[in-house]
Structure 1
Amino acid sequence: MSRWPSDGRERLRQAALELFAEQGFAATTVPEITARAGLTTRTFFRHFPDKRAVLFVDEDEISEMVARLMAEAPAAVEPMALIRDGLRVLAETRFEGRRPELRARRALVATDAGLQERDLRKRAAMAEAIRTGFLTRGIDASRAALLGEVCATVLSLSIEEWLDSDDPRTLDHVVQATFDTLRAELG
């Protein structure tokens, strides 16, 4: 038998998100989160280093996913095709079906400079994971850095457009449209 409830992390995350929505990020304390979840403060810190981490739980997972997708792709796959395929997988597995939750998260991040900074670091970490992946695949440093930044920018712009829209397009469709715009601008 497990010593702690197996759903403790998710209970804490849900309690935190509810409290952040009700009273704001800055006004919410860890003891309030744990009380709402019916868990201890010690349990909170076993799952999260601080309350900001609740909003960025998938930060490391996305970088690991990017690294894995790049490592598993056949060597013959062209870089832009690899980026396009990787963004499709990311959109389908990490974003689809979560639009309302992601809108609420975005609104919350907009209220706090520290959260905004953490969000920018998350984007930079993704660009770095892509750059590293391309370096590992033998692409020169400048090109690898450019591809990493382009990918992170395409994803960021696409997510913003998708969250701002109520149309039924999937994030993957928005990503494809953003790539089409980029290709058209580059000639």
Structure 2
Amino acid sequence: MPRSGAEARRRLQQAALELYRELGFEQTTTAEIAARAGVNERTFFRHFPDKREVLFDGEADMRAALTREIADAPDGLRPFDVLLRAFRTAGRILEDNRSFCEPRLKIIAVTPALRERDLAKAAWLTEGVAEALRQRGVPDRLAGLAAHTGWAAFHQAAQDWIDDPSQGLDAHLARAFDDLHALSGTVPPAQARSDSR
């Protein structure tokens, strides 16, 4: 039986991951998760409001880490450089929890209800990043665009890291941001043709 709240929470998350992989998300009940974790169902609901939230625990910590890094970044950095610093911090959180992150992403990918929740959580995180950029003086429209673009690059890097663990997440993240810089400096072929007429 788990002795502490943190231990019970961790065991509930592990039990949920196992059951979602074995039975599928829709077929798994909170009672089954609690039983697998060695706690009662009331304990489950003390930690999580529903069975979806087991997979999204830590989002508030992630948002806080991102916004803190943006606020603490040195003056004079361009928004993308500020974001890269912030997402590197978020990346370390993921790397420390790879054994949870990898199966979590796979379960979300095949479960429509979880993909919907993932999109809602991503929007909440992105808005926090945009607001932190606004607090640094980045104009509203640009803060929103930078936050969405930065989040997309982070998401791509995380998926690349899951697919190719031979490199750390930081390397994948640096490449994603390099790709963004390259894209912004590239003239699309169709535009180049029309400009030369």
**Superposed pair shares fold, TM > 0.5:** yes
Deviation per CA, 1:37-89, whole angstroms, max 9, x where unpaired? 12111111110000100110011111111121122223333322211111111
The 1-side partners of 2:179 and 2:80 are apart by 14
Q: Label 1:99 to 1:13 Cα distance change in 2 as closer, same or farther (>3 A).
A: closer
Match of 2:127 in 1: 128
The 1-side partners of 2:177 and 2:43 are apart by 43
The number of residues matched between the two structures is 182
Matches within 5 A, 1:22-61: 22-61=22-61
Match of 2:66 in 1: 66
- 5+ long unaligned stretches in structure 2: 186-197
Match of 1:158 in 2: 157
- 5+ long unaligned stretches in structure 1: none
The 1-side partners of 2:183 and 2:115 are apart by 29
Instruction: Determine if the alignment matches structure 1 residue 75 to structure 2 residue 71.
Output: no
Largest Rg, 1 or 2: 2
User: How far is the alpha carbon of 1:180 from its aligned partner?
Assistant: 1.3
Q: Where does structure 1 differ by over 6 angstroms across 4 or more consecutive aligned residues?
A: none
After superposing the two structures, state which structure 1 stretch, 33-42 or 70-79, moved more: 70-79
Please give the secondary structure, in 1, of the residue aligned with 2:75.
coil
Deviation per CA, 1:123-159, whole angstroms, max 9, x where unpaired? 2122111110011112210111111111101101111
The 1-side partners of 2:121 and 2:42 are apart by 26
Question: In the alignment, residue 36 of structure 1 is paired with which amino acid?
Answer: R
Task: Give the TM-score, by structure 2 length.
Answer: 0.85
Match of 1:178 in 2: 176
The 1-side partners of 2:28 and 2:120 are apart by 23
Q: Label 1:19 to 1:56 Cα distance change in 2 as closer, same or farther (>3 A).
A: same
Q: Label 1:113 to 1:131 Cα distance change in 2 as closer, same or farther (>3 A).
A: same
The 2-side partners of 1:185 and 1:163 are apart by 24
The 1-side partners of 2:17 and 2:82 are apart by 34
Please give the secondary structure, in 2, of the residue aligned with 1:96.
helix
The 2-side partners of 1:74 and 1:182 are apart by 22
Task: Give the TM-score, by structure 1 length.
Answer: 0.90
Question: In the alignment, residue 144 of structure 1 is paired with which amino acid?
Answer: A
Match of 1:142 in 2: 141
